[in-house]
Amino acid sequence: AAPLGPPVYVDLAYLPGSWSARTVDEEFFRRVRSLCYVVSGDDHLKEGVLRSLLDALLAGKHQWGTDIQVTLIPTFDSLVMHEWYQETHDRQQELGITVLGSNSTVAMQDETFPACKVEF
């Protein structure tokens, strides 16, 4: 455990994937306060811890005590994400958390791929 100190404020934070996703808990979100969190890593390991990671975001953000808007940007589609979104939507709104959908696409040359634009 790291010594207690003031929280760190950033514009964008990528949440770890695979086995490292297990290290993201309520304390992480209390101490690493970001305007945007990117949830990446569409793999079976992350799917197993995704719900606890998302619940930790709600619990940690509740401790901030400020009115900072937060955007959650998932880079993959997930049944766990959809269920969490539906079940906690009211709580997300209370805490000022917006979840971006993954229905935007960008076309470049002969490719199209899902994307979103984040401005600061």
- Structural domain including 102 reads 8-114
Which single residue is written with the structure tokens 């940007």?
Answer: 73
pLDDT at 109 over 60: yes
Q: 17 burial class (0-12, 13-18, 19+ CB within 10 angstroms)?
A: middle
Q: How many domains does the chain have?
A: 1
Say if strands 111-114 and 105-108 run parallel, antiparallel, or are unpaired.
Answer: antiparallel
- Tell me the range of 44-53, 81-90, 103-112 where mean pLDDT is highest: 81-90
Rounded Cα distance, 16 and 35, in Å: 17
Per-residue pLDDT of 1-40, as tens digits, reads 556 789 999 999 999 876 777 788 999 999 999 999 998 8
Q: Is 120 a member of any domain?
A: no
Q: Is 1 a member of any domain?
A: no
pLDDT of 81 reads 86
Nearest to 103 by CA among 87, 93, 116: 116
With b for 16 or more beta-carbon neighbours within 10 A and e for fewer, the 56-85 pattern comes to bbbebbeeeeeeeebbbbbbbebeebeebb
Query: Which position has the higher pLDDT, 93 or 112?
Result: 93
pLDDT of 79 reads 86
Which single residue is written with the structure tokens 């993959």?
Answer: 76
pLDDT of 114 reads 67
Largest CA distance in the chain: 51
